[in-house]
Structure 1
Amino acid sequence: MKAMLLAVAALLLVVGEGTAERILSRRTRRELASPLHLEGIRDPYGSYCQRRGGCCPGRDDMCTVPYLDTICYCDLFCNRTVADCCPDFWGHCLGVQPPFIGTCERNGNKFLTGQTYKENCNLCTCGSTGRWECEQNACMIEADMIQGVNRGRYGWRAANYSQFYGMTLDEGLRYRLGTQRPSRTILNMNEMQMNMDPQSEQIPLYFNSVEKWPGKIHEPLDQGNCAASWAFSTAAVASDRISIQSMGHMTPQLSPQNLISCDTRNQGGCAGGRIDGAWWYLRRRGVVTEECYPFSPPQQTPVEVARCMMQSRSVGRGKRQATQRCPNTYNYHNDIYQSTPPYRLSSNEKEIMKEIMDNGPVQAIMEVHEDFFIYKSGIYKHTDVSFTKPPHYRKHGTHSVRIIGRHTLSPLLCGPRQTPHFPLVLLLRQPQ
């Protein structure tokens, strides 16, 4: 026999050696399992300790009764933790009333103390006083912000996007954008000036690259919760430029995943990166197509970087050749596509439009505010609808996009929808 001294109710319990081993193997610590909760058992009725035939002194990890899909305790130690006591423990073992378990109401439903209810991006817990205790996170989608924009005269309309519902604003900025602020390399680039004759060259009120170059402008890809707009926008612009400059002989949709996984020098993959680094990689190393190396959203956390599945080697004169097969079983075309160096355009709006009309889509870096996630149509500008809220409701981040044209109601077009005009914009293009 093995003696075990337990400092519980000053009782000395003698436990057999074999029993002790079974105890340790079954339950080394008191873990809470559903439906056991921090505020106590959730079923206030039923016969448990009474059915067992008695209560155990001190702490006895074998003093249990089956309870739904877990177990509850009938030893005196459970009263110290409350959470794992059987529902009739207090009345049968101690002869007292059980602890008060309050209720809260939400949308016509009753919740017991300790139960939770998620409303948008905030988790609410039913408190012991019957009141909800909710987190105070700013959400990506706020109903009052949508209403405020649509009631005001801001020049654009807002909408509710269900895929963003339930995400916090911090998560939106962290996972849905992904371009670092312009680096010194970009800021030191000389602006290219477009030679425009104001009399002979008029900018039309409407222009769409899709219509001028049919079959050469690619559909946008969904980056999901991968903060890699630096890779998606670069791959999109390069894809369109290659298609246009080759007159449709090559129409590759380049792989953002190739950049995300393989361009790791000072880059963060799905945790953000720099567009100048992406263009450097595209020029020096090259990438394959999306069909060859498809996008694979992060499974666990957006900051993880999947292992690079594509390598290339030089074959002379700056050209490169893949040294691995496509990382899928249904495509064997692992051609490497490279770009020429990028250039910075003037921030003059007409020169940007002229560049798009002559040579195709361009890339832009822009500042994104909390209200951009609800943007639907019109000419975007940051609003004051959140100015009366606490500071954590007013945040911003950096994003990069592909601009494909101009709309009569909006100076610039990005992807399939109207895109807002941004007074401070940096653009890169791939020259002919």
Structure 2
Amino acid sequence: MRCLLITHLLHRTCDFTCVRHPAPLSSEMINYINKANTTWTAGHNFQNVDISYVRSLCGTMMKGRRLPEVRPGDSIKLPDSFDARQQWPNCPTIQQIRDQGSCGSCWAFGAVEAISDRICIQTEGHTSVEISAEDVLTCCEDCGMGCFGGYPAEAWNYWVNTGLVTGGLYGSKVGCRPYTIAPCEHHVNGTRPPCHSQETPRCVQQCIDGYELSYPKDKHFGRRSYSVSSDQQQIMTELYKYGPVEAAFTVYADFLQYKSGVYQHLTGEMLGGHAIKVLGWGTEGGTPYWLVANSWNTDWGDKGFFKIKRGSDECGIESEVVAGTPHN
């Protein structure tokens, strides 16, 4: 009787702990997600890469030093849906999808993308620049470990205390310090080189040849950096008044296969922390969502963008939101 009881308990324990997840990046996982018929659909994004490589892209160190929290002022009536691309059409960076390449620099990209947008928004489109991910990735010593991980809040602090120069996409020759890590073929079979984890480039405090300004003259500074409350109304108000914000969340293996709809975690192991730019909100099929720009190029997800469930702190998306205001 005792043996039967132990056997029964072992089976019961396994029911709760021995859950088998489909293999990451597999057709089995895609089928599992789509058959579940939840709020989103899956498809092939990453091909011919190992899961360890994808894990290295999730370079955000979660739960770092928290910036002082600033509330965006009195509550206002907010629309049911909002898209910063439509609200500020004269700010082209809001629509841009960048590519972090073979480097865990998402923490830097989420920051400089939102900073670029906010500079344009504050100047009503008169100053439209691409702030350099290369500059903060390679030169901010307090931000973390470069391509091997960093803290979003420290990137915003660096903008305030040290300033950031301009710099566009790899090979663009736009701005003072364009990105030097090439896009690689981590999504579909194509013409880009294969993906291998990348060392952090060295800090070069000099603009590329032919750029009209010196490195110090090209600096853009923030006035202050701060955390935004995890309350969704506060995040929405911040977005509505001042523009896109940076947020960090936990990536699970199923997220890699996102194609459309409103993502919520369904299956798969935890891979790490990831930082992105939040630029809007809405509701789809009755499910509230945040509209988000990723930094894995336009052939990932929904042309580089994705939606994630809003209002329930899905994967921690509302817990670590940071922002800042530019100098006039």
TM-score interval, smaller chain = 0.7 to 0.9
Q: Distance in 1 between matches of 2:157 and 2:89?
A: 28
Per-residue displacement from partner, 1:281-324 (whole Å, max 9, x unpaired)?
111111111122111117996352212111xxxxxxxxxxxxx3
Q: Structure 1 residue 246: deviation in Å?
A: 1.4
| Corresponding residue for residue 309 of structure 1 | 204
| Corresponding residue for residue 373 of structure 1 | 256
| SS of corresponding position for 2:219 | coil
The match for 2:247 among 364, 369, 374 is 364
Q: Distance in 1 between matches of 2:50 and 2:73?
A: 42
Counterpart AA for 1:147? N
Query: 5 Å matches for 1:407-422?
Result: 407-409=282-284, 410-415=288-293, 417-421=305-309
Q: Larger relative contact order (C-alpha < 8 A, sep ≥ 6)?
A: 2
Q: Structure 1 residue 272: deviation in Å?
A: 1.1
| Corresponding residue for residue 331 of structure 1 | 211
Gaps of 5+ in 1: 1-137, 311-323, 387-393
Q: Distance in 1 between matches of 2:30 and 2:196?
A: 29
Instruction: Say whether residues 1:154 and 2:38 are aligned partners.
Output: yes
The change in CA–CA distance for 1:362 and 1:165 in structure 2 (over 3 A counts) is same
The change in CA–CA distance for 1:302 and 1:269 in structure 2 (over 3 A counts) is farther
The match for 1:258 among 135, 144, 162 is 135
| Corresponding residue for residue 168 of structure 1 | 50
Counterpart AA for 1:430? G
Per-residue displacement from partner, 1:118-161 (whole Å, max 9, x unpaired)?
xxxxxxxxxxxxxxxxxxxx965211101111111221111111
| Corresponding residue for residue 287 of structure 1 | 164
Q: Structure 1 residue 357: deviation in Å?
A: 1.1
What TM-score, normalized to structure 1?
0.57
Q: Distance in 2 between matches of 1:421 and 1:399?
A: 16
Q: Distance in 2 between matches of 1:333 and 1:243?
A: 19
Q: Distance in 2 between matches of 1:244 and 1:207?
A: 15
| SS of corresponding position for 1:192 | coil
Q: Structure 1 residue 267: deviation in Å?
A: 1.9
Query: 5 Å matches for 1:15-94?
Result: none
Contact kept in structure 2, 1:236 and 1:253, CA below 8 Å: yes
Q: State the superposition RMSD in angstroms.
A: 2.3
Contact kept in structure 2, 1:363 and 1:401, CA below 8 Å: yes
Counterpart AA for 1:169? I
Q: Distance in 2 between matches of 1:427 and 1:181?
A: 11
Query: 5 Å matches for 1:242-281?
Result: 242-265=119-142, 267-281=144-158
Gaps of 5+ in 2: 1-21, 168-173, 183-192, 294-303
Aligned residues: 263
Contact kept in structure 2, 1:209 and 1:360, CA below 8 Å: yes
| Corresponding residue for residue 178 of structure 1 | 59
Contact kept in structure 2, 1:140 and 1:172, CA below 8 Å: no
| SS of corresponding position for 2:280 | strand
| Corresponding residue for residue 25 of structure 2 | 141
Per-residue displacement from partner, 1:366-408 (whole Å, max 9, x unpaired)?
1110111001121211113x4xxxxxxx233101111111133
Q: Distance in 2 between matches of 1:178 and 1:151?
A: 31
Per-residue displacement from partner, 1:69-121 (whole Å, max 9, x unpaired)?
xxxxxxxxxxxxxxxxxxxxxxxxxxxxxxxxxxxxxxxxxxxxxxxxxxxxx
Counterpart AA for 1:333? L
| Corresponding residue for residue 209 of structure 1 | 84
| Corresponding residue for residue 15 of structure 2 | none
Q: Structure 1 residue 250: deviation in Å?
A: 1.0
| Corresponding residue for residue 297 of structure 1 | 181
Counterpart AA for 1:304? E
Query: 5 Å matches for 1:377-416?
Result: 377-384=260-267, 386=268, 394-409=269-284, 410-415=288-293
Q: Structure 1 residue 193: deviation in Å?
A: 6.2
Per-residue displacement from partner, 1:205-256 (whole Å, max 9, x unpaired)?
3211111111214112111211011110110111111111112221111010
| Corresponding residue for residue 237 of structure 1 | 114
Counterpart AA for 1:144? E
Counterpart AA for 1:170? S
What TM-score, normalized to structure 2?
0.74
Overall identity of the aligned pairs, in %: 27
| Corresponding residue for residue 298 of structure 2 | none
| Corresponding residue for residue 192 of structure 1 | 71
Per-residue displacement from partner, 1:175-207 (whole Å, max 9, x unpaired)?
x22111121x21x7336365325xxx1x32321
| Corresponding residue for residue 12 of structure 2 | none
The change in CA–CA distance for 1:156 and 1:196 in structure 2 (over 3 A counts) is same
| Corresponding residue for residue 225 of structure 2 | 342
Contact kept in structure 1, 2:222 and 2:325, CA below 8 Å: no
| SS of corresponding position for 2:142 | coil
The change in CA–CA distance for 1:266 and 1:344 in structure 2 (over 3 A counts) is closer
Q: Distance in 1 between matches of 2:128 and 2:70?
A: 29
